[in-house]
Amino acid sequence: MQILTLRTLHFFQHGRAFSSMTTSIPSVTAKPRLRGVVFDMDGTLTVPVIDFPAMYRTVLGEKEYLKIKSENPTGIDILHHIETWSPDKQKRAYEIIADFEKQGLDRLQIMPGASELCGFLDSRNIRRGLITRNVKGAVDLFHVRFGMIFSPALSREFRPYKPDPAPLLHICTTWGVQPDEVMMIGDSLKDDVACGKRAGAFTCLLDETGRYDSPEYESTEFKPDYKVTSLVEACSLLEKNFDLAT
């Protein structure tokens, strides 16, 4: 049987059609099963409206911002930086961040393709979850505006947050699925892709502008399995690469 299989594969590699033998071929190219998709919120399900550089400047001060930026060319983890500050300084920082997030909420828009993708997942009985570093209030408002619920939806209150894999592993446990049956979709290489890869999930980077094509991202530790420039592309990507059987 083993020999037949190898021979069959050999014939295939040489492009010969042995249709009578194809029925006994084990499914060597079986697509992985997909049971759930976990989304990032800001910049993935919603159009990015938070001016992150301006937020970092205000929280850190211009001098500290430039210093930290030069040390972290692929992105600043602002929550991580302020965690070691004194309670007073930290409180002020959180207030500034909340202000910027509120401005973002006031202008909240749903990302093109997001509703269609979620409808597609629902039609295939594929679970939808959400992980954000934003606060629970923002997730609640998003749910109201979007009109579909993501469950679980983990916000900043769930520790440790992305890029730690803990929130994604928590969702997998809640769903009763393995991480390799789940895809994480997000617009951040350092948070979403890192979280997904650390958890052992498939990852898809949403890169609308092609900014991750620039050289400074070439040597980053975690690379996405897939990349799209719009959520509109995601349905066909999932259909092509995964077993979506209900």
Under the rule (CB under 5 A), what is the footprint of Mg ion? 40, 42-43, 187-188
Q: Peptide bond before 160: cis, by omega within 30 degrees of 0?
A: yes
Cβ proximity of 206 and 186 under 8 Å? yes
Instruction: Give the nearer residue to Mg ion in terms of CB position, either 40 or 181.
Output: 40
Q: Which is nearer to Mg ion, 31 or 145 (CB)?
A: 145
DSSP 8-class letter at 190: I
**Alpha-carbon torsion (38, 125, 226, 51), positive or negative:** negative
Which of 43/224 has CB closer to Mg ion? 43
Residue nearest to Mg ion (CB): 43
Q: How far apart are the first and last CA of the chain?
A: 31
φ/ψ of residue 131, rounded to 5: -130, 125
Looking at the DSSP assignment, which residues form a beta bridge with residue 201? none
Closest by CA position to 186, among listed 105, 132, 134 = 132
Residue in the block written with tokens 């009763």: 176
Give the SS3 label for residue 184.
strand
Q: How far is the CB of 42 from Mg ion (least distance, A)?
A: 4
Q: Which is nearer to Mg ion, 43 or 196 (CB)?
A: 43
Separation of alpha carbons 67 and 75, rounded Å: 12
We find the least distance from the C-beta atom of residue 44 to Mg ion, in angstroms, to be 5
- Given the complex with Mg ion, which of 101 and 187 has the nearer CB atom? 187
Q: How far is the CB of 99 from Mg ion (least distance, A)?
A: 19
Q: Which residues are catalytic?
A: 40, 42
> Measured from the CB of residue 47, what is the shortest distance to Mg ion in angstroms?
11
Give the helix ranges, DSSP H, for 107-135: 114-123
